[in-house]
């Protein structure tokens, strides 16, 4: 079976990590990295692949798919731009990840090695689930959320669009993390976190909006 062409949005170090995932999985052929910030980078190569300017993707709409390797939840602007060019999004799912049959993954997700997604969990579009992330049963994760390595989200949790959970952060069951919130590395969330609030510590407490 011929591997489907795939472009990675982004040219940073995480883009190189995603490139390795794509190679390990073997379902896609990585054809290019895509830059949307510095036009000078579009004249270079990365990991042996060309770097192209974002608007050039329009020439490949219907042929290539894309995935966004920008760690910041602000990647929403980037993926909206690319969607407007007519490009579809692929999900990159490492074979070591365990996804419950009743769970749902949105388009454009990156699911790294060691991830476990529980029963009836719903993962939105363009979510990054980094190495060793755990997502419990009946948990809903909004779009453009970043779950850093070893983040542990329990069951029946609600995580709003664009939230960011740092490395090793924990959210206990039946809690809500609001849209755009930032949970610092190692924090333990035992109370609901409001939208656009930063929390840290054990237990996690608000430090700023």
Q: Is the pLDDT of residue 34 over 90?
A: yes
> Which segment of 50-59, 70-79, 83-92, 129-138 scores lowest on mean pLDDT?
70-79
Residue 43: pLDDT band (50, 70, 90) is confident
Residue 126 annotated in active site? no
Instruction: Pick the catalytic residue from 94, 120, 137, 138.
Output: 137
User: pTM value?
Assistant: 0.96
**What mean pLDDT do residues 166-183 have?**
98
The domains found in the chain, sorted by start residue, are: 4-89 (3.40.50.20), 91-202 (2.160.10.10)
Q: Spell out the residues 6+ positions from residue 145 whose beta carbon is closer than 8 angstroms to its own.
A: 73, 124, 127, 128, 159, 160, 161, 162, 163, 164, 165
Q: Is the pLDDT of residue 90 over 80?
A: yes
Q: Is the pLDDT of residue 1 over 70?
A: no
Burial 38-60 (b: 16+ CB within 10 A, else e): eeebbeeebeeeebbebeebeeb
């Amino acid at each position: 079976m011929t591997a489907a062409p795939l472009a990675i949005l982004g040219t940073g170090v995480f883009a190189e990590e995603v490139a390795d995932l794509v190679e390990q999985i073997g379902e896609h052929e990585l054809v290019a990295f895509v830059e949307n910030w510095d036009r000078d980078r579009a004249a270079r190569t990365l990991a042996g692949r060309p770097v192209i300017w974002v608007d050039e993707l329009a020439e490949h709409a219907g042929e290539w798919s894309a995935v966004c390797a920008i760690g910041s939840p602000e990647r929403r602007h980037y993926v909206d731009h690319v969607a407007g060019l007519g490009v579809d999004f692929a999900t990159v799912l490492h074979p070591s990840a365990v996804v419950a049959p009743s769970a749902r993954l949105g388009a454009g997700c990156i699911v790294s090695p060691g991830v476990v997604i529980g029963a009836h969990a719903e993962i939105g579009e363009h979510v990054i689930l980094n190495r060793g992330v755990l997502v419990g049963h009946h948990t809903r994760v909004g779009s453009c959320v970043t779950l850093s390595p070893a983040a542990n989200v329990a069951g029946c949790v609600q995580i709003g669009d664009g939230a960011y959970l740092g490395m090793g952060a924990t959210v206990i069951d039946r809690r809500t993390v609001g849209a755009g919130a930032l949970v610092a590395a190692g924090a333990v969330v035992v109370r609901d976190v409001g939208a656009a609030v930063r929390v840290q510590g054990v237990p996690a407490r608000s430090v700023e909006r």
